[in-house]
Amino acid sequence: MTARTGSFPTAVVVTIGDELLSGETVDENQATLAAFATAHGFDVVSAHTLPDDTDAIARTLTGLRGRCRLCLVAGGLGPTKDDKTRRAVAQALGVALQRRPELVAHLEACFARLGRSMPPANLVQANLPEGAEVLENRLGTAAGFVAGDGPAYVVLPGPPRELRHVLAEAVRPRMAALGGRPRRATRRYRCLGLGESSLAARAEPVLERLARSFSAYPFHVHYRAAMPRVDVTLVFETDDPPPPDVLRAFDDALAAVLAPALYGIGAAGLAARILAALSAAGETLATAESCTGGRVATEITAVPGASAVFTGGAVTYADAAKRQRLGVARTDLERHGAVSEPVARAMAEGARSAFDATYAVATTGIAGPSGGSREKPVGTVWIAAASPDGTTAKRLRLHGEREAIQHAAAGWALKYLWDRLVADDLARVTHRDDDAQKAAS
């Protein structure tokens, strides 16, 4: 509950591309670079997105001199005419571009592997600012590089896969030399089912009490909402993380007040936690989706090793598919409509049986924009969970556009299944930070 102390080295993220500034592309690289710097103990103080314009890039990079320790730059290293980053970095450092024979060889090898001759345009990718150190990119033609100090400019290719590869293989080993240090300790409380201000109203009095009781471990809190999910994250200001007993006191105090929404502590996502709980209990899982159209299965299968628990699922969009694939009764469809409690329950039970699983979760709803009525407006969704002990269901009233409703319904369905596992004593809220499970949210 203190302000940032500024005791950590600072970093700035710069991403480059006209397509980012026209809004055509969501800039994932910014988050990747910010997370990477944070993981190496840097305080990321700002991020900037710039057009494919040599002067604009050079001006911003020059303006950062003496203002941060590290500057991570992504994009603008390709062979096409909109790529200006190499020249801009050279300009900011006041040096020339220099053709690097090892990069010419790398380019030739890349094209040889594809059985093609190198387009002459690609040769510009062999030019680097004088004195730059090459960051090898085995996945593409654009090598990264490090140049300058105060800040050190670490320049990376823009395609996200290549960016992550070069970060992991070439930048990570250099981070200690670049000023990196162990990351700041954080504690992340993961919630679904209450809004940001409700969670804050519950958490703040407890956090004030904890700040007084554990004044040797000052922290600040932030709330991240990606509805329906909200994370409450504590960032500790100390160099060393609080000892396990202190963290346990934080966990217990917060779990008590966040309880209806809290499903976990730490990086592991909801789907990963569900799969781990089912796996530990020797249970299996199937899905039956209508309005979510495959999003529940997508979240589940994003988790490595999902195949040990998840047997399969049906996306039953047409009523006939609900009847024939999941055994939903025609009378239920006719009497109650496809978006109804009896149909949601029958879908969950049908998925258990069709996919030979012990647990199943189902969704049926109206995602819009059309299909709503006065009685069942767009956003009306029924979710159901089935197990050997029986089937339960719940109605949601969601808001927003089609994809927001589809996404939110998938999240709620997973949380509903999680609550069932907790009630069945197969799952409980624990701290799990395993990286392998981060993928699923």
The interface with a second copy within residues 268-287 (CB under 8 A) comprises 287
The least distance separating a second copy from the CB of residue 293, rounded to whole angstroms, comes to 3
Judged by CB under 8 A, the stretch of 90-98, 143-151, 216-224, 411-419 that binds a second copy is 216-224
HSE-CB at 247 with a 13 A cutoff on CA atoms is 18
Judged by CB under 8 A, the stretch of 126-134, 145-153, 230-238, 417-425 that binds a second copy is 230-238
The least distance separating a second copy from the CB of residue 438, rounded to whole angstroms, comes to 11
Per the DSSP assignment, residues forming a β-bridge with 222 are 233
Q: Phi and psi (nearest 5°) for 163?
A: -60, -50
Nearer residue to a second copy within complex by CB, 95 or 432: 432
Candidates 163, 164, 146, 168; CA nearest to 155 is 146
Is residue 159 near a second copy by the rule CB under 8 A?
Answer: yes
Contact (CB, 8 A) for 351 and 286:
yes
Report the residue from 95, 298, 372, 394 that binds a second copy according to the rule CB under 8 A: 298
Judged by CB under 8 A, the stretch of 30-38, 147-155, 173-181, 256-264 that binds a second copy is 30-38
Q: List the interface residues with a second copy, window 126-155 (CB under 8 A).
A: 139, 141
d(CA 160, CA 29): 6
Q: Give every CB contact of residue 116 below 8 A, 6+ residues apart in sequence.
A: none
Positive/negative CA dihedral, 272, 278, 280, 284: negative
CB atoms within 10 A of CB 105: 11
Nearer residue to a second copy within complex by CB, 40 or 345: 40
Contact (CB, 8 A) for 8 and 40:
no
The least distance separating a second copy from the CB of residue 35, rounded to whole angstroms, comes to 3
Nearer residue to a second copy within complex by CB, 35 or 176: 35
Nearer residue to a second copy within complex by CB, 37 or 126: 37
Is residue 51 near a second copy by the rule CB under 8 A?
Answer: yes
The least distance separating a second copy from the CB of residue 131, rounded to whole angstroms, comes to 27
Q: What is the x/- site pattern for a second copy, positions 330-369, by CB under 8 A?
A: ------------------------xxx----------xxx
Is residue 33 near a second copy by the rule CB under 8 A?
Answer: yes
End-to-end CA distance of the chain: 27
Is residue 53 near a second copy by the rule CB under 8 A?
Answer: yes
Is residue 328 near a second copy by the rule CB under 8 A?
Answer: no
Alpha carbon distances (Å) from 348 to 43, 153, 282, 310, 381? 46, 54, 19, 14, 14
Per the DSSP assignment, residues forming a β-bridge with 235 are 186, 220
Is residue 295 near a second copy by the rule CB under 8 A?
Answer: yes
Q: What is the x/- site pattern for a second copy, positions 195-214, by CB under 8 A?
A: -xx--xx--x----------
Task: Indicate the helix (H) or strand (E) that contains 405.
Answer: helix 402-423
